[in-house]
Amino acid sequence: MADLAVQDGPAPTERPVGDPLVVLSGVDKHFGALHVLQGVDLTVRRGEVVVIIGPSGSGKSTLCRTINRLETIDAGTITIDGKELPSEGRDLARLRADVGMVFQSFNLFAHRTVLENVTLGPTRAKGVKKAAARERAMELLRRVGVADQAHKLPAQLSGGQQQRVAIARALAMDPKVMLFDEPTSALDPEMINEVLDVMVGLARDGMTMLVVTHEMGFARRAAHRVVFMDGGQIVEQADPETFFTAPTSARARDFLSKILTH
Ligand SMILES: Nc1ncnc2c1ncn2[C@@H]1O[C@H](COP(=O)(O)OP(=O)(O)OP(=O)(O)O)[C@@H](O)[C@H]1O
Ligand SMILES: [Mg+2]
């Protein structure tokens, strides 16, 4: 498997993308009186890396959560690989396996070893034999650089290591798309890059990714497109260079001026 040490590769926008894989069309979501997603249209193509940024409360996490149906939607449609999201049952479980998710808080099973964290999904949900699951898990743990931690419990690892295990765990299900919701914002600064490097490697290997992050370096290194959300709407989208250097909307300019001065 490819070494994930990051070299200066081709510009992300030169990586080819395929047909639409995740398609949101007219998606609306309310929490009571709060209209948190307002007619969101978004298409993520196979092999495409899309970064979502925007102010706190703009609906970024909710958008991610609707894609694997951790949240229901009130109107509109979401399709993954041409199929509309099923509402429940076995079809929903199958769909969830197609969508890997990595959260800000690592959400590992605390009483399971690192290796067990990565093998549980495939053995329980996909019927993969234990030996095969272990072999694949070790390969993934090597890939994210934590194979030597396989027999420890999550609490014995650093935050950066735990987050890399969480990425390996999601990859073990062979997802078609990976969603990341602020995967580095709970990490100490020195650990952020080790996680971002793994993500950049994944992007370069052609994984389809939707990533909520304010890490502009990641967007520049890996994203085809930056989507700016505010108030439950997609306000503007462009390739990273264009977005960061010449945002067109006042809201995006205002937001960027705030995060750039931090
Ligand atoms: N389960 C919920 N019940 C009620 N309101 C919610 C719920 N989840 C989110 N909200 C509200 O929906 C809005 C969008 O929240 P969301 O978490 O999607 O924003 P976000 O863009 O991810 O913000 P942040 O950058 O702070 O993570 C916020 O006003 C939030 O308070
Ligand atoms: Mg959020």
Residue 1 pLDDT grade (very low, low, confident, very high; cuts 50, 70, 90) = very low
Give the Å distance between the CA of 174 and the centre of ligand 1. Answer: 29
Query: Rounded distance, CA 54 to CA 4, Å?
Result: 29
Residue 100 pLDDT grade (very low, low, confident, very high; cuts 50, 70, 90) = very high
User: Own/partner pairs for 87-94, CB < 8 Å, 24+ apart?
Assistant: 93/125
pTM: 0.93
Atom of ligand 1 nearest to the CA of 59: 18
Give the Å distance between the CA of 57 and the centre of ligand 2. Answer: 7
The residue whose CA is least distant from atom 25 of ligand 1 is 56
Q: How many CA atoms lie less than 13 Å away from 53 in the CB half-sphere?
A: 28
Question: Which of 92-96, 160-164, 176-180, 249-253 shows the lowest mean pLDDT across its residues?
Answer: 92-96
> What are the pLDDT digits (tens) for 188-237?
988 999 999 999 999 999 999 999 999 999 999 999 999 999 999 999 99
What ligand has the least distance to the C-alpha of 62? 1
**Structural domains present in the chain:** 18-258 (3.40.50.300)
| pLDDT of res. 9 | 63
**Residues 6+ positions from 219 with CB-CB distance below 8 Å:** 51, 53, 213, 226, 240, 243, 244
pLDDT surpassing 50 at residue 4 = no
